[in-house]
Chain A
Amino acid sequence: MSSPFELTRNITIGQYLVRNSIIHKLDPRFKLASFAILLVGIAICDSYIGNLIGLFLSIYLFHLASIPVSYGVSGLKPAIPFMIIIGLMQLFLYKEMSPDNVIYWQLGFLEVSSASIKIVIISVLRFMQIIFLSSILTLSTSTTEITRGLERLLSPLQKVKFPVHAFSLIITIAIRFVPTFAMEMEKMMKAQASRGAEFGTGAWWQIIKRTTEMFPLIIPLFNVALARGEDLILAMEARCYTPGSSRTVYTQYKANGNDYVALLVSVGIVFVLVFIPYPW
């Protein structure tokens, strides 16, 4: 019998898998940039062939990263019911006014046309690629690296007074405290349960009752978080942190050949996906 209180088990932020692959070793700046470029390509590409190529390439990336494809597939599974619903809606409700759109079936405002079939299939393919790509990114890059990479990528924005470092510091703090709060929450759930707490007992329409029933968890969670925040403010000030003042940087990345290759290949793939006029 497993305990209902093992919260930490369900936390999947930072699913980082330690491997020694080419993908893992990429400079996070370049990895993030390549990821972004590929996403844009996938979002624009609306041909069957282009999307199939994209799907094939994203599966190949798992191989490159020495990560079993099953990790990506498991990300797809929970989405299937919703995909079916959305797919059906698009299938019957999507309308397009174009001369070569063939309508196969029609009933009232419902219609199935060549355009609606295409949009369903393309959406499914696109969705799979996006899931696979983001899985590879999060499985091969630690959250720390993602944050650092993001900070460096955004650093040109400093010129227009965008507080890049403060921004990445916020994200770092958020990621840093998720496991802490999760443990806190776990303790809180146990403690309130021992005092007889029950959740979701009111009649289904009693919104207020059902909400206030969660108070024993929600209120302490926010209180503890904000109280910790107060402490952290002092600790950061005591360590000479002043927002906006100049600072040096500890982790420095140096891009090597592989990184540039990765970027170029990504641009190449986008070109292949978007600019080649495929027949379908």
Chain B
Amino acid sequence: MNQPILSVKDLTYVYMKSTPLEHQALLGVNMEITEGEIVAIIGHTGCGKSTLIQHFNGIHFPQTGHVMINGMDLTKPKLDVKSLRRQVGLVFQNPEDQLFEKLVGDDIAYGPFKMKLPLEEVRERVKWAMEMVGLPFDEMKDRATFALSGGQKRKVALAGVLALRPKILVLDEPTAGLDPKSRRELLEKIKKLNQEEGITVIFVSHNMEEVAYLADRIYVMAGGKEVCHGTPEEIFTNPEIILQHRIGTPETVRTLHRLHEEGYAVNTGRFRVEDASTEIRKLLPE
């Protein structure tokens, strides 16, 4: 069972092909993601990461190269886009903007209703999705969407995608603009979805604390290509990659790198506060 659930091979993409505004967004990306993983994609604005993830649920189609998702070949002309979109849930940046129904329950039920599921099943899915993101079903389903706080709206939007029951969840900057409390809650929910429901998670982020907290593996992208990948520990211990691609590092890693530069023998990949503390503790006298 080592077949990857998602694989990308030599993928290229050009925006506004054959117009003066032509812009090459992807220049041969390769990527393999195994079922049940949490993978972070990081890189500078304009490195192509948004274009890449929009390939994952049929917003863009490969111009050259291949994308295989759960056995579906996205280059096939007779691709069933609907079924692809049910397997891959895509949550865009600031997804709260897309809420349009007046009531929370209705907005989350939009996708399932579009799938022509029976009412009973729709309700079940909405209930499950709401509980997964931490919105109590009975209390919240008849609330007005516009009266919610920013963090709650984002949870509703996430639930709206989860109600499609995707196998793979793709998130673009899931916590951008949230306050620390909502941020932490949301990250916990994503982790829970992965651990308890086995959903494969792929997310784009600029926040390295968040990447360190969630990701099993990191892909670093630059200039329309993936330049390297590895576990957070592997990436964060590599000062060349960090410098060359201007990857911000968690404060813990920055501290360890500083110590390393000063000639102390520390493992620079220990990004959790407890691990970093232990690492530094070793340097100190008893």
Interface of A toward B, CB cutoff 8 Å: 1-3, 5-6, 9, 184, 187-188, 190-198, 215-216, 219-220, 223-224
Contacts and interface: CB of A to CB of B under 8 A. Distances in A.
A190 B160 contact: no
B164 A3 contact: no
A196 B115 contact: yes
A191 B16 contact: no
Contact of A187 (B21, B85, B92, B99): B92
Given A194-B90, A195-B164, A220 B97 contact: yes
Contacts of B82: 196
A235 B189 CA distance: 35
A169 to B, nearest CB: 26
B97 A194 contact: no
Contact of A194 (B15, B57, B61, B100): B57
B93 A9 contact: no
B143 interface: no
Interface in B36-92: 54, 57, 59-61, 63, 82, 85-86, 89-90, 92
A192 B98 CA distance: 7
B137 interface: no
A190 B16 contact: no
Contacts, number: 68
Given A6-B15, A6-B16, A220-B99, A195 B114 contact: yes
B115 A216 contact: no
Given A195-B161, A195-B164, A184 B97 contact: yes
Contacts of B105: none
A198 to B, nearest CB: 7
Contacts of B16: 6, 9
A216 B61 contact: no
Chain B: interface size category = 20 to 34
Interface in B1-56: 15-17, 19, 21, 54
Contacts of A197: 110, 114
A232 to B, nearest CB: 17
Interface in B79-128: 82, 85-86, 89-90, 92-93, 95, 97-100, 110-111, 114-115
Contacts of A190: 54, 59, 90, 92
Contact of B100 (A5, A9, A196, A219): A219
Nearest to B110: A195
Interface string B148-187: 0000000000001100100000000000000000000000
A216 B98 contact: yes
- B63, B85, B90, B97: which has the most chain A beta carbons within 10 Å? B97
A195 B82 CA distance: 9
A190 B55 CA distance: 11
A219 B60 CA distance: 25
Given A1-B61, A220-B97, 8 more contacts: A9-B19, A9-B21, A191-B92, A194-B57, A194-B59, A216-B98, A223-B97, A223-B146
Contact of B111 (A3, A5, A196): A196
A1 B63 CA distance: 7
Nearest to B21: A9
A129 B57 CA distance: 48
A184 B98 CA distance: 10
A227 to B, nearest CB: 9
A224 B96 CA distance: 10
- B15, B100, B164: which has the most chain A beta carbons within 10 Å? B100
Closest 9 A-B residue pairs measured CB to CB? A196-B114, A219-B100, A195-B111, A194-B90, A191-B92, A191-B98, A190-B59, A196-B111, A1-B61
A194 B157 CA distance: 12
Given A187-B92, A194-B85, A216 B110 contact: yes
Nearest to B163: A195
Contacts of B59: 3, 5, 190, 193-194
A1 B90 CA distance: 21
Contact of A191 (B63, B95, B115): B95
Nearest to B94: A187
Nearest to A4: B59
